[in-house]
Amino acid sequence: MGQPHPPLRAPQDRRPLLGGVRRWITVAAGALALTAALVAAGPPASAASLTPVTGFGTNPGNLSMYAYVPDALPVGAPLVVALHGCTQSANDYYTHSGWPKFADRYGFATVFPQTSGANNANSCFNWFEPGDSARGRGEALSIKQMVDEAIARYGSDPGRVFITGLSAGGGMTANMLAAYPDVFAGGAVDSGLPASCADSVTAAYICMYSPPDRTPAQWGSLVRSAAPAGTTSWPRVAIWQGTADTTVRPANATELRDQWTDVWGTGQTPSRTESLPGGTTRSVYVDAAGRPAVEVYSISGMAHGLAVDPGSGAEQCGTAGTYYLDTICSSYHTALFWGLDGDGGAEEPGTLPAPTGLTVTATTGSTASLSWTGVAGATSYAVLRDGTKVATTRSTVYTDTGLTTGTAYGYTVAAVDSAGAAGPASAEVTATTTGFTPTCHTASNYAHTVAGRAYADGGYAYAQGSGQAMGLWNTFTTRTLQQTAPGHYVVTDSGCPA
């Protein structure tokens, strides 16, 4: 999103403003609006450049259209739509994201929609407004009209149209995939939110900080209800999320995974996991044909933003700047997932069946021991903790170490064949280590309440469990809470003990 606040409409919004709660949120968001200038960089080496396009339709969402089309692009090439975050612009995303590099390399047109302060006080796409994110309405329809214009103008292949976006653009991307599965073959949600997570500014806050913990079926139903009746073909979805994101919490990636794996009917256990550069773990969920349908990229230690990797290498891209974070080139891996490099994104999964009988045999404060039934033909087994591969073993027993006390972990095991390919994962088991580890949390009083660490009463916040006064319930007052027991927090602004 490029913002630590819910995106707001400007005062001239065509809808009536909400009451006192919305006015308070508007003031808070305005105080937190970002003003940092983005670092500029030159476009890729090509005669082509980012060009404004006008007259692309009725444009009910009042958006601007910009396009980058490589020189001599042939008819029938793919099309990528890329949505910027809050406080950003089409040119910012064009400059920093790396998409022009791969448009030149693989041969596809790119469209960069742009919103403005006339639509939203922070130049965010209005992903949380049903009137702007539903099929045939507002900004969503304007983006669809841009796709239609690009197909007509550049001869793009209507069967290979993809959409991606950062934060607010990511939230809008999820909604566009749900509303227009007949238009988009794939999407990528970068530091974004599930489709139909919010329908108001207040709900946007909740989704950002503490998304609703719905079941996969409930999340999937939101997609199915947004799509045209009778839809049976769905876009392939990549989900990118930093583990240290405090603006759009990592829980959103989990809910996004649940949402789209339910739509695809793959289940929530990954078929395989892989380690990528930049501390990135990729979890793959394949369809009935063995092709990746949903992929989740978790970047260890990355804060809120789009993952880029400046440099001239084949897998590098982009320019670092505000909310463009030097970790891994997300655009490159997304392009491969969509098959823009020409291979269709197909990958060969292992052929061995999933192991059975996975059991937790023992736990301590820092270890979990597992055992399972062997699979004929397996040369080894991949052990996955919470979807991330942690070990390869030739045995049918394994003890995971270095765990946190009093914490639940989900484990699965996959059989690896002689070619080194892992088959489907086993059913998941949960191992909970013994003991309890005190944890510290520094955040605004508002964030503490939505996370369940505090509660509000009469405009003031109080620590959950201890009831200690924390001051005004707002986004400006920041306190540190230590969890000393399950559900019990105390104020420790001087710092938590080691």
Residues labelled catalytic: 167
Residues pairing with 309 in the sheet: 317
Among candidates 139, 138, 156, which has minimal Cα distance to 147?
156
Question: What are the start-end ranges of the E strands in 18-108?
Answer: 51-53, 64-68, 79-83
**Rounded to the nearest 10 degrees, how much is the dihedral formed by the CA atoms of 152, 155, 161, 162?**
-100
Are the C-beta atoms of 345 and 292 separated by less than 8 Å?
Answer: yes
Query: What is the helix, strand, coil percentage profile of the chain, to 5?
Result: 20, 30, 50
Between CA 212 and CA 219 the distance in angstroms is: 10
Q: How far is CA 139 from CA 115, 371, 436, 471, in A?
A: 9, 52, 48, 39
CA angle 241, 243, 245 (to 5 degrees): 80
> Which two three-digit tokens encode residue 294?
């949903």
Cβ neighbours of 364 (radius 10 Å): 14
Q: Which two tokens stand for residue 321?
A: 């700047």
What is the DSSP track for 326-367?
A: ES--HHHHHHHHHTTTTTTT------SPPPEEEEEEEE-SS-
Neighbouring C-alpha atoms within 13 Å toward the C-beta of 139:
30
Q: Which helix (DSSP H) or strand (DSSP E) does residue 26 occupy?
A: helix 20-32
**Angle separating helix axes 201-209 and 20-32, nearest 10 degrees:** 50
Distance, CA of 65 to CA of 61 (rounded, Å): 11
For residue 174, the one-letter residue type is A
